[in-house]
Structure 1
């Protein structure tokens, strides 16, 4: 004998708790099918989600339906019969008229004597995202209290569906944004180099054909240097998108970054970290690390600097990060014109700062050179 359905308050509390726990959506919908069948004293039940285009019901799970219906019920027209009425009117619908179901499936299950059915919309506001079907061996409409409970359950589970839909949309938007960002970086950092190589190859071919060894060697050197640069840029992009922050924390990651910068470029970089115990969430650490990484990459590529400085210090409820150099300065002060890739790098740094609720500014440095200043709110529980 099946276990009795939980009392209404207990069932609603259980659904609420499992919504907060973030359980797999389909598992959640299927799990509550059995209590709903018991509450309605139904013979069988099914739970369906609306397709992305809103035109089809997609079967999630069934209980008590004959095996002959498992295949035919996988997809159903969203406008069909009492289910379509439940979606259109966003309310619980009870009906004795099951002939559309019998005609659609050709199955005798829907033509049983005294058979009736319920459609319980999974509703969030006026938006319906799925539906429960309950099939009864009773041609009397369920009591108002039962219908009210079924509606309440449908609204709670509709909230779960809406949450799932929003999370899926957010994930798609995030993936699209990351793809766009990577594509732009590849275009700026690699495609231009490959275009240069493509232009040099015909000249190299002509020099070889003319037996002009000096010109051929010079062009070969150009091609080799450009390919090395493209390879380095590609490795940097892959690292930028796939490498996490040092597990020892942000301070250790920045110390390592600074040391590598000096070894690679020969430019001394002084680090003044007055917040060595700063506690940030993992995602925030990654954003800060990549802001500093991009700023130092710009010093290496464009500044022509002899010295650099990295400072992290407390402000009034904020964290201040400064990357300075004594190079040629910003274009506004007569420095070298910024390349498209440099502008794009600055845009990415600003986006990262904005995601943390902060601001990023690039200004001339007093005494010459450039200063990148990033001001971020100090997180709750952070150490200053």
Structure 2
């Protein structure tokens, strides 16, 4: 395993390039080191030649000193020669200074050094006469010849080393040329040529030639890249070959989804329109029939209490079939069974036993499907799709039809809720009308009834003076009852002026001023969000009821209606009339006259209602609607 990993690592492009560069670097460094070593040796040899030449001069000086009988100075010169020989033999690497390490030179230097110490030096120290000085001169000449021989040997060695230095320099030049050519070749073989092949392959692929393949000639990165390129080409060739089919498939899927969304959108928009049940179901089924190309359809609603399924609309069915199945029982036939099981069914009529052939089959339908109508987990009925040819539904189509059934169920439930809401609104309004009649007209009629009884008693007892007093009271009571009835009718017929509460209140105050002659003004500071129509109507009715009470009871000369509409809403109706004692009214159980009607209307819009009054101090009716209770218009 480790061996294979090593082989694999050596096959990497980076390893090859780094190995080649390191090899070239090692060779270059070796050649440079050899050159430096030769240069260093040449410098040492040159210094050795200088020192050896100085040794000849020192020998000549010693000869002259001995010939001149300067013995003291001659001894110092002997010491200088000793030091020179020692320095040449020891060498100095820092200068550098050393003798070339050849046996011949070392032997020659050893012979010179030995001759100095054994012969020439003792003769120099023992020379006292001219004869001895002359003998020393002869010996010194022989010694100088030996030194010259050593210099020649060193020069010959330096010439040889200079030759090697030039050879190494030439070798460096050759290595540089060979290395450059080698690196160019390696870069071409390892990088440029694979990159060129890859670029040409990509160019051919750009021209939609997906048959191009690259030769995998190595296991390095470019080999892996070529292998990956070939795999990509295989995949692109396969994809491009199936591209047209894939585009057709995707386009068909997209078109189907667009048609599906269009059906859902159109059906949802249609079901939101206010319309009768038959028109709602008929328009709904027209869209489904057109989408699925069905030959017939029905919609049935469920009467859960009686277990009946009533046909609301139908299309493409014979009159005989409609008449016979206009009302089905839950559990009867295929459709009733599907409702009982609360599941969608798609029936292949061709598989039904001929002995139990159903009317739908006899009508020529090959497929009859049943889909539930439900809303909020409540079953409301079902709708059918009839096909004269065999029709199978995909899972997506079944989900779509189930969603459509939910949409129709929500629409049917909204119709029922809207009908109940209208019924409740009518019932509440009737209760208010009845309460208004009871609290106003009923009391007047009760008063008239008492007056009539008193009139009858006075007539029977022939107390005609009392009759004269009772008749005007009866006339006044009848007139007041007439006025109350007329006012109630006018109030209940009131409508908003194009959803303009301020305009409607201003019109009501104008009518109040004309009928009563009482000064009335409207002060409105309106900056809040608009009210819904229902809340505006209740506010108008409350103001009308307050004005009616002022007309009948307050004996006022001035009325002020004030609106403060910001985030909260406040309404006050004030008069400067006679007022009343609130506690006394409560004790007499008369608070329901007008006040109860206004309070109940305020409660319908979740507003607080208060009445402030005192005898001789007028009356103020206050209504407050907090921002939390306001509804959006």
For the superposition of Structure 1 and Structure 2, which TM-score range results when normalised by the shorter chain? 0.7 to 0.9
Partner residue of 1:85?
A: 337
Work out the CA distance in 1 between the residues paired with 2:432 and 2:313: 40
Matches within 5 A, 1:221-370: 221-246=472-497, 249-262=500-513, 264-265=515-516, 267-275=518-526, 282-305=533-556, 307-314=558-565, 317-326=567-576, 327-332=578-583, 340=590, 342-343=591-592, 345-364=594-613, 368-370=617-619
TM-score (structure 2 length as normaliser): 0.51
Match for residue 158 of structure 1 among 386, 402, 409: 409
Question: Which deviates more from structure 2 when the two are superposed, residues 120-129 or residues 360-369?
Answer: 360-369
Q: Which runs of 5+ in 1 are unaligned?
A: none
Equivalent residue number for residue 270 of structure 2: 18
Distance 1:239 1:86, change over 3 A: farther
Over alpha carbons, which structure has the higher Rg? 2
Distance, in Å, in 2 between the alignment partners of 1:291 and 1:79 is 55
Size of the aligned set, in residue pairs, is 371
1:15 CA drift (Å): 0.7
Deviation at 1:162, TM superposition (A): 1.2
| Per-residue deviation, 1:173 | 1.0
Q: d(CA) in 2 for partners of 1:143 and 1:312?
A: 63
Structure 2 unaligned segments of length 5 or more: list them: 1-255
TM-score norm. by structure 1 comes to 0.79
RMSD: 3.9
Shift of 1:275: 4.1
Q: Structure 2: how far apart are the matches of 1:91 and 1:164?
A: 24
- The correspondence of residues 5-154 of structure 1 with structure 2, limited to 5 A, is 7-37=259-289, 42-51=294-303, 53=305, 55-95=307-347, 108-111=359-362, 115-137=366-388, 142-154=393-405
Partner of 2:624: 375
Q: Shift in Å at residue 190 of structure 1?
A: 1.6
Alignment partner of 1:170 is 2:383? no
Deviation at 1:129, TM superposition (A): 1.6
Equivalent residue number for residue 204 of structure 1: 455
- In the superposition, relative to structure 1, how do residues 272 and 109 fare at CA in structure 2: closer, same or farther (>3 Å)? closer
Deviation at 1:219, TM superposition (A): 2.5
**SS at structure 2 position matched to 1:288:** helix
Relative CO higher for 1 or 2, CA cutoff 8 Å, sep ≥ 6? 1
Which has the larger share of helix? 2
